[in-house]
Amino acid sequence: MNIHCLGINHRTAPIEVREKLWFSDAELPGVLASLKEGRMAECALVSTCNRTELYYVPAPGVTNGSPLWPTLAAKKNAAEAFRDEHFYSYSGMDAVRQLYRVVSGIDSMVLGDVQIINQVKEAFACAQANHCTGILLNRLYNTALHVGKRSRSETEIGEGAVSVSYAAAELASKIFEDLSRRTAMLIGAGETGKLTAKHLKGRNLGKMIFANRTRAHAEHLAEILGGVVVDFERFALELQGVDILISSVNSNTHVLTAPALRQAMKSRGNSPLFIIDIGVPRNIDPAANTIDNVFLHDIDGLNQIIDGNLSHRRAQTPKVERIINEEAAVFEQWHASLDVSPTIVELREAFEAIRSEEVGKHSHHFDPVTSEAVDMLTKRIINKILHAPMSNLKNGTGEHASDDTRTKVYFIRHLFGLDKRTHHENKD
């Protein structure tokens, strides 16, 4: 099988190396075109923050003799940044299984990554739009998407929060059944806090309040996510209508002390307050947990949730592997069938050539009516002789049908000299 994969990912190279081989959406068409013009009949490039993988079918007559990665690295003028050990390569069914593992999420930095299936879809759509794929990669791409969908519908590989921001939003959803009636305040505009706010908005949060030392940053977030801004120095006084407080501030001291929170709770009438402290060092005084109706969760608590969810996802991996093996067997059988059709045609042509030649030699012994009858009779004999072999060759048998079919094709071509016959015809 002439499908290959060349890749670099989070397991083989650090970020400072991987980022040098990241291709933007704008770069992909030109890179694909140059690769196809060179040594590839088909190619598609998947490039994300954690991996760059090239799937390709070599052009006729091109072998995988020399390493391909310098060619790919040269597209970014960064060949000096890489070494052989930064890359991995797969061929045949190993390349097929690699894409299946990627699209199912079990080869991701975050196990069960739900974004990767769309990233693969976009990468192959780009390759198809630029006429860089053909029968092999198109089939590989379509079956890979099927693997991704089966993995998510038949297993729980993508279930449960595995990031701090998502875990925080998931926890809030469990505590408050209807977030559309709730208000959250975000203190700080750090990346994790911002992602938490996005996840909460995605869960239909009713209202968002932002506070940050640099007010312009808070105003920018409010513009993006929708919400209002309060002065950082006064955020504790604005807690009256807040149900969820998220703190993500770089600070060596607590931005909210237990006494200040106790005072704020009095003004709230002691209505429950859910606090997510994502700061390191901690932003909220741990003594806040001693205050009635205050429910404080720090990053260690969230990590416990994440660890539990990751353990659950890891337990799903064997189920995903079974799906991959099932679909890989189907792909291998399909690929084997590509050899079956020309073999059937060539075998029938070989028998017909022998029949026709022998009938022709003796046709002078028969009158026209008898000659026509002999011609029809010998054709029927050939059809009956070939019927069972052709049917078995088309259908395959047994549990490992693809291996069985490929073996049959090999022996039929060898026994009847089809390759020699094809070679002889090509010479003529």
pLDDT at 399: 44
CATH at 241: 3.40.50.720
Residue 213: inside a domain, yes or no? Answer: yes
Q: Which residues pair with 298 in a beta bridge?
A: 277
- Cα-based distances in Å from 324 to 96, 144, 329, 408: 9, 9, 9, 25
pLDDT at res. 402: 54
Confidence category of residue 172, pLDDT binned at 50, 70, 90: confident
CA dist., res. 42 & res. 32, Å (int): 9
Q: Please tell me which residue in 5, 43, 49, 132 is annotated as part of the active site.
A: 49
Q: Which amino acid is at 341?
A: S
Does 43 qualify as catalytic in the annotation? no
What local confidence, expressed as pLDDT, does residue 29 receive? 96
Q: Do the domain assignments include residue 320? A: no
Residues 213 and 295 in one domain: yes
Same domain for 142 and 172, yes or no, is no
Q: Which of these ranges, 186-195, 306-315, 386-395, has the smallest mean pLDDT?
A: 386-395
- Please report the pLDDT score of residue 420 as a whole number: 62
- Residue 133 main-chain phi, psi, to 5 deg: -115, 165
Q: What is the mean pLDDT of residues 11-22?
A: 92
Distance CA 75, CA 254 (A): 49
Query: From CA 167, how far away is CA 305, in angstroms rounded?
Result: 7
- Judged by average pLDDT, the poorest of 26-35, 137-146, 343-352, 392-401 is 392-401
Residue finishing a domain among 159, 179, 206? 159
pLDDT tens digits along 55-113: 999 987 777 666 889 999 999 998 899 999 999 999 999 999 999 999 999 999 889 98
Q: What is the rounded average pLDDT of the residues 313-324? A: 96
Q: Of the candidates 48, 51, 47, which has an alpha carbon nearest to the alpha carbon of residue 8?
A: 51
Does residue 323 fall inside a structural domain?
A: no
Number of domains into which the chain is organized: 3
- Pair 389, 314: CB distance under 8 Å: no
What is the pLDDT averaged over residues 318-341? 89
pLDDT recorded at residue 65: 62
Other C-beta atoms closer than 10 Å to the C-beta of 240 total 11
Q: Are 272 and 342 contained in the same domain?
A: no
Indicate if 287 and 336 belong to the same structural domain: no
Q: For residues 145 and 117, is the Cβ–Cβ distance under 8 A?
A: yes
Has residue 360 got a pLDDT over 50? yes
Q: Whole-structure pTM over 0.85, yes or no?
A: no
Tell me which residue has tokens 């792909």. 331
pLDDT in tens, 132-171: 999 899 999 999 999 999 999 999 999 887 888 888 888 8
- For 61: left if phi > 0, alpha if psi spans -120 to 50, otherwise beta; the answer is left
| pLDDT at 388 exceeding the cut of 90 | no
Residue 176: predicted pLDDT = 87
Query: Would you say 90 and 3 are in contact if contact means Cβ atoms under 8 Å apart?
Result: no
- Are 203 and 148 contained in the same domain? no
Q: Are residues 15 and 155 in the same domain?
A: yes
Domain that holds residue 339: 332-427
Residue 311 lies in a domain: no
Measure Cα distances from 251 to 247, 260, 283, 284, 359 in Å.
11, 17, 7, 10, 97
Alpha carbons 88 and 235: distance in angstroms, whole number: 52
Q: Find how far residue 143's CA is from the centre of its chain.
A: 12
> 3-class DSSP state for residue 297?
strand
Query: Would you say the C-alpha torsion 138, 143, 146, 148 has a positive or negative sign?
Result: negative
- At residue 421, the pLDDT reads 55
Q: What integer pLDDT is reported at residue 42 of this predicted model?
A: 93
Query: Which one of 100, 130, 159 terminates a domain?
Result: 159
User: Do 138 and 267 belong together in one domain?
Assistant: no
pLDDT confidence of residue 110: 83
CATH number, domain of 96, equals 3.30.460.30
Residue 27: beta bridge partners? none
In a shared domain, residues 180 and 99: no
381 contacts 351 by C-beta, under 8 angstroms = no
Residues 29 and 144 in one domain: yes
Q: Answer yes or no: do 10 and 153 share one domain.
A: yes
- The answer to the question of residue 52 being in a domain is yes
DSSP-assigned states of every residue in 314-336: HHHHHHHHHHHHHHHHHHHHHHH
Out of 93-97, 174-178, 340-344, the most confident range is 93-97
The vertex-1 CA angle with 391 and 84, nearest 5°, equals 165
- Find how far residue 149's CA is from the centre of its chain: 10
CA distance 337 to 405: 8
- For the chain, the average pLDDT equals 88
Mean pLDDT value across residues 256-271: 92
Asked if residue 51 belongs to a domain, the reply is yes
Identify whether residues 143 and 174 lie together within a single domain: no
pLDDT category of residue 406 using cuts at 50, 70 and 90: low
- Is 180 found in the same domain as 116? no
The answer to whether 204 and 185 have CB atoms below 8 angstroms apart is no
Q: Is residue 149 part of a domain?
A: yes
- Whether 19 is in a domain gets the answer yes
Q: Which of 93, 124, 159 is the last residue of a domain?
A: 159
